[in-house]
A and B are shown apart, each in its own frame.
Chain A
Amino acid sequence: MELIDLVRRTDWYRGSSPRPDGRRLHKEWQHVNVIGDGIEAYVNLNIMDDQRPAARPGALDARTIVIAREPDRGWTGGVRLHEASRVSARRGRFDLRLDEDVLELDGDAIVVRAFLPRERVGVDLRLVPRTAPMLGPNTPLDDGLLHWLVVPRLDASGTITVGDRVHHLDGARAYHDHNWGEFLWGHDLSWEWGFGIPPDSANPWSCVFVRFSDRKRTKASAQGLFVWKDADQHRTFRENELTIVAEGHLKPSTLHRIPPVMGLLAPDRPTDVPARLRITGEGRGDRVEAVFTSQDVCQIVIPTETELSVTLINEVSGHLHVQGTIRDEPLEFDGAAVFEFLAF
């Protein structure tokens, strides 16, 4: 079976359903990261149950987030809200459309097109999977479950536009995941997440890391370091096989916030993005160490839904070095990577 067929069979829109008590807490988002020469991009298409007090029951909150990072110019990005009437998503189908922003299947590829007119930043990309999807269902959260589907490595071709600059990509590294579940921003949950793909396309290894915890990050509910070789998931280090150490703190000289107005409610510089995150997976004779070094951060500021506060999603661009041995086979790679750290 082709990899894109595996995506079609697993990566479909789930949609909201009411809980037994009638509440709707559904959140669902399709996410893409791209790392090219001199450009990185983050695209997120969200469809959620609208939790704002003025929302009518069953109303949807749909939005596109696009962020681009040009290392020599910094971050450009923003959030675009969509009227529910401009949202096209059917349960069981992959294709998703929010106004002109699209995520759809076309031949052997995922196509993602998104553009923010106000910020003049967007992507028009074909993403060809290099790995099979991994489904991670039923991660317990504070008051619900989160489900996760990951395609850790794709080849991206097309364009990323930032203002008048058009970056052309041909076989750039890309990552995709799809998340859905029931929770509110403000519940007792947090996560750290990141991925690594070698810049050398002949290097067969790729990896993804995630840790879910409470807001204080004193108790982890689930954690894993997932390693793929070529198209297949090759080794998973879970729970007690993992040692995770955060070292130091990133001290950015500037900070880009999205959307900008939220800077009024989160004026402080981040203090809890680690300078380095050292992840060691060890067990059954295998050992892999992944060291992420933070370099630059962009902050997505979200109004908390349980109280008048904010949730901060720190998107951190950095460098990942991975080294180890799995089933007596050495693996190593080194290159640009993106990690994400929630803060409050």
Chain B
Amino acid sequence: MPPSSSSSPSDQLAAERADVPRVAPAATPRAPGTFGRFLHDAMAALHREHPQAWAGVCKALRSRRVTLRVDAEIVPLRFGAEQVAFTPFAPAAHVELATDRPTIHALVDGELSLESAVRHNRLRLSGAPADLIRFHEGLLCWLHGAVRSPSFPALLAGFRQTEGDA
């Protein structure tokens, strides 16, 4: 299943029956221009365009809570067997990642490696070693799917254009 927002059971059931990414306004987890919105749309694209990679992400992170902090924006996620939920609160997470938009762009542009980003404190990760290993596995599945999904270049370009709008 694609990403979902926390919503009522009836909303969830309706969305599951529709079998489409939940990107309707009521289910949109973040406003346009935010990292959360980009992530939500990218997850829906990955589920739609590379189900194998999406399944790999969910398998690696199953039953784990992950909190992503990009600049001042906090995006808490809860992974299930086949889906991820954007949660409204940020309870204690198994993995926390904190970074900023320039670092994300530098990683995508090949100006910075993941290793360098961590070593230079531009990307901060915290969690138990076993959870961090699972997070890395999930991240690799995510990246492998992203580079094979036709929608990602446009999604990424849109995210770059919203710099500072969030």
Name the residue among B52, B107, B109, B147 with the largest chain A CB count within 10 angstroms. Answer: B147
| Residues of chain B lying within 8 A (CB to CB) of residue A260 | 108-111
| Residues of chain A lying within 8 A (CB to CB) of residue B56 | 308
Partner of A53, one of B51, B108, B147: B51
> Contact at A264–B107, with CB atoms within 8 Å?
yes
What number of residue pairs across chains A and B have CB atoms under 8 A from each other?
55
Given A53-B52, A54-B48, A81-B153, CB of A257 within 8 Å of CB of B147: no
> Contact at B141–A308, with CB atoms within 8 Å?
yes
* Interface of chain A residues 246 through 294 with chain B (CB within 8 A): 257, 259-265, 267
Given A52-B148, A261-B110, A303-B147, CB of A308 within 8 Å of CB of B153: no
Bound together, the chains give a CA A170 to CA B141 distance in angstroms of 48
Q: Which residue of B lies closest to A261 (CB)?
A: B108
| Residues of chain B lying within 8 A (CB to CB) of residue A53 | 49-52, 148
> Contact at A267–B144, with CB atoms within 8 Å?
no
> Contact at B52–A308, with CB atoms within 8 Å?
yes
Bound together, the chains give a CA A197 to CA B60 distance in angstroms of 51
| Residues of chain B lying within 8 A (CB to CB) of residue A261 | 108-110, 147
| Residues of chain B lying within 8 A (CB to CB) of residue A263 | 110, 113
| Residues of chain B lying within 8 A (CB to CB) of residue A265 | 140, 143-144, 147
> Contact at B49–A52, with CB atoms within 8 Å?
yes
CB distance from B113 to the nearest CB of A (A): 5
Bound together, the chains give a CA A81 to CA B151 distance in angstroms of 13
Given A52-B49, A308-B56, CB of A267 within 8 Å of CB of B113: yes
Q: Which residue of A lies closest to B108 (CB)?
A: A261
Q: Does B114 contact A (CB under 8 A)?
A: yes
Given A308-B56, A308-B141, CB of A54 within 8 Å of CB of B150: yes
Given A261-B110, A263-B110, A308-B52, CB of A54 within 8 Å of CB of B143: no
- Please encode chain B, from 18 to 41, with 1 for each CB lying within 8 Å of some chain A CB and 0 for all others: 000000000000000000000000
| Residues of chain A lying within 8 A (CB to CB) of residue B115 | 267
- Please encode chain B, from 32 to 71, with 1 for each CB lying within 8 Å of some chain A CB and 0 for all others: 0000000000000000111111001000000000000000
* Interface of chain B residues 112 through 166 with chain A (CB within 8 A): 113-115, 140-141, 143-145, 147-151, 153
Bound together, the chains give a CA A227 to CA B82 distance in angstroms of 58
CB distance from B145 to the nearest CB of A (A): 8
Bound together, the chains give a CA A206 to CA B49 distance in angstroms of 47
Bound together, the chains give a CA A261 to CA B115 distance in angstroms of 14
CB distance from A161 to the nearest CB of B (A): 21
Q: Which residue of A lies closest to B49 (CB)?
A: A54
| Residues of chain B lying within 8 A (CB to CB) of residue A55 | 150
Bound together, the chains give a CA A154 to CA B149 distance in angstroms of 39
Given A267-B114, A308-B141, CB of A262 within 8 Å of CB of B147: yes
| Residues of chain B lying within 8 A (CB to CB) of residue A52 | 49-50, 148-150
Partner of A257, one of B49, B110, B114, B141: B110
Bound together, the chains give a CA A311 to CA B107 distance in angstroms of 20
CB distance from B150 to the nearest CB of A (A): 6
Bound together, the chains give a CA A309 to CA B52 distance in angstroms of 13
| Residues of chain A lying within 8 A (CB to CB) of residue B149 | 52, 54
> Could you write out 25 A-B pairs with CB less than 8 Å apart?
A52-B50, A52-B148, A53-B52, A53-B148, A55-B150, A81-B153, A260-B110, A261-B109, A261-B110, A261-B147, A262-B110, A263-B113, A264-B113, A265-B140, A265-B143, A265-B144, A265-B147, A267-B115, A303-B147, A303-B148, A308-B53, A308-B56, A308-B140, A308-B144, A309-B144
A sample of 20 more A-B contacts (CB under 8 A), given A303-B147, A308-B53, is A52-B50, A52-B149, A53-B49, A53-B51, A53-B148, A54-B48, A54-B149, A54-B150, A54-B151, A55-B150, A81-B153, A260-B109, A260-B110, A263-B110, A265-B140, A267-B114, A267-B115, A303-B148, A308-B52, A309-B144
The 9 A-B residue pairs with the shortest CB-CB distance, nearest first, are A260-B110, A54-B49, A308-B144, A263-B110, A52-B148, A261-B108, A303-B147, A260-B109, A267-B113
